[in-house]
Amino acid sequence: MSLFDWFANRRKSPPIGQEQQEREIAEGLWTKCEQCGVLTYTKDLRANQMVCPECEYHWRVFSGDRIEQLIDPGTWQSLDEGLQPTDPLEFRDRKPYRDRLREYQEKTHLNDAVQTGIGQIDGEPTVLGIMDFSFMGGSMGSVVGEKLARAIERATKEGLSVIIICASGGARMQEGMLSLMQMAKISGALQRHRAANLLYIPILTHPTTGGVTASFAMLGDLILSEPKATIGFAGRRVIEQTLRQKLPDNFQTAEDLLTHGFVDAIVPRTELKATLAQLVRWHQPPQPSAPLVLSEPVPVVEGERG
């Protein structure tokens, strides 16, 4: 193609028209905010921790991104990565539970819906659990319960604070009763952690519902939430149908729960790391004070005495 043809082609194609814009959104170069509709360069949105710079809408993030956002680089040590879910009830709905698990594992590169580990938050060693909504809606089965309980027990043993980022549709119905048992198991581990005078902070993110709300999400010494998160036990539709009443628009929002004392503070994601580091620092058990080092006595030379 000659230089002349190249310029002719350039003139024919529209500069940055609707079509190109749509293509670039499809390619993931730009992201359109679900709340305000403003386009943001995806790289800038990621740099802002997936919070819309225009309206502060908090996008859902993967557990791996949470680790990157909260934990100091190079300090993350994951726990019980090898725990695999089983299918004790040989459950089958539209497809077998076993197949469903495999599909989610391939899609998310996770074994189940939670990651746990020890890492430093601004230099403060902390045990962190992060639920991942992209794995079967963050539902709590045996692996989620076991990993969280073991992480809390590890924190109790090592005298560390626990932070759990909650995101869940509730208990995992495909594991029936075994999934409900996890609520008691995690709560028991938290009780022993509390008896050791250690700090536990759940962070409620959109959405935190069902058995997670009914257990460890509400057992924190301090309960934090991300803005506009939906937090509840049963869903709005179920309650409306049971009560035969229309519920207010702000029902089950973090902001409404804050006014009723269920949530202690709403912290934007961009301020979360600094806030958590400060809270963990404030709750450190008192350190024994360093032994007093006395300086060597000054030798007295005999002959100099009067």
Which residues of the shown chain bind Zn ion in the complex (CB under 5 A)? 33, 35-36, 52, 54-55, 57
Residue 30 CB, nearest distance to Zn ion (Å)?
A: 13
- CB-based contact 268:48 (threshold 8 Å): no
Residue 240 CB, nearest distance to Zn ion (Å)?
A: 28
Q: Which is nearer to Zn ion, 154 or 269 (CB)?
A: 269
Residue 226 CB, nearest distance to Zn ion (Å)?
A: 15
- Cβ-in-10-Å burial (0-12, 13-18, 19+) of 303 comes to exposed
Q: Which is nearer to Zn ion, 54 or 158 (CB)?
A: 54
Q: Helix 176-195 and helix 142-158: axis angle, to 10°? A: 10
In three-state secondary structure terms, 253 is strand
Contacts of 151 (CB under 8 A, 6+ apart): 79, 80, 116, 117, 127, 128, 129, 162
Mark 60-82 as b/e (b = at least 16 C-beta within 10 Å): ebbbebbbeebbeeeebeebbee
Closest to 207 measured CA to CA, from 171, 173, 183, 232: 232
- CB-based contact 109:135 (threshold 8 Å): no
